[in-house]
Amino acid sequence: MRILHIDSGKTWRGGQRQIYFLVKGLKELGVEQYALISNKQLKDKLKDLGVEVFSWKYKFEFHLGLFKYLKILKKVKPDIIHFHDSRSLSLSLLTKEKSVATRRVDFHLKNRFSKIKYEKTDIVVGVSNKIVEVLKEDGIKDVLLIYDGIDPDELKVKKTKEECRKKFGFKSVPVLVNVAALVDHKGHIFLLKALKILKDQGIIPEVHIAGDGELKEKLIKYKEENELNNLFFHGFVKEIAEFMYAGDFFIITSHLEGLGSSIIDAMALKLPIIATRAGGIPELIEGISFLANNKDPFSIAEKIKEAMNNREKAIEFSEKAYNLFLDRFHYKKMAKSYKDIYDRLVRNKL
One domain, residues 50 and 194: no
State which residues form the domain around 268: 152-328
Find out whether 58 and 8 touch, Cβ atoms under 8 Å. yes
User: Across the chain, what does the average pLDDT equal?
Assistant: 93
DSSP state at residue 90: G
Q: pLDDT (tens digit, 9 = 90+) per residue, 206-233?
A: 999 999 999 999 999 999 999 999 999 9
Which pLDDT value is given to residue 315? 96
One domain, residues 146 and 165: no
d(Cα 79, Cα 31) in Å, to the nearest integer? 11
Which pLDDT value is given to residue 320? 96
One domain, residues 44 and 144: yes
Which pLDDT value is given to residue 119? 92
d(Cα 216, Cα 235) in Å, to the nearest integer? 9
One domain, residues 47 and 184: no
Long-range contacts of 226-231 (CB under 8 A, 24+ apart): 226/192, 226/196, 226/199, 227/199, 228/192, 228/195, 228/196, 228/199, 230/172, 230/195, 230/199, 230/204, 230/205, 230/206, 231/192, 231/195, 231/207
One domain, residues 76 and 130: yes
One domain, residues 161 and 84: no
Which pLDDT value is given to residue 336? 97
pTM attached to this predicted model: 0.86
One domain, residues 250 and 334: no
Q: pLDDT (tens digit, 9 = 90+) per residue, 64-112?
A: 567 788 889 999 999 999 999 988 888 888 888 999 999 998 889 988 9
One domain, residues 168 and 240: yes
Find out whether 270 and 196 touch, Cβ atoms under 8 Å. no
Which pLDDT value is given to residue 142? 81
Which pLDDT value is given to residue 63? 58
CATH number of the structural domain spanning residue 237? 3.40.50.2000
One domain, residues 217 and 301: yes
- Sign of the Cα torsion 280, 286, 288, 290 reads positive
Give how far the C-alpha of residue 252 lies from the chain's centroid of Cα atoms, to the nearest Å.
12
One domain, residues 121 and 174: no
Q: In 10 A of CB 203, how many CB atoms?
A: 15
d(Cα 37, Cα 23) in Å, to the nearest integer? 13
One domain, residues 324 and 334: no
| Overall domain count for the chain | 2
One domain, residues 17 and 125: yes
Q: pLDDT (tens digit, 9 = 90+) per residue, 250-277?
A: 999 999 888 888 999 999 999 999 999 9
Which parts of the chain have pLDDT scores under 50?
A: none
Which pLDDT value is given to residue 14? 87
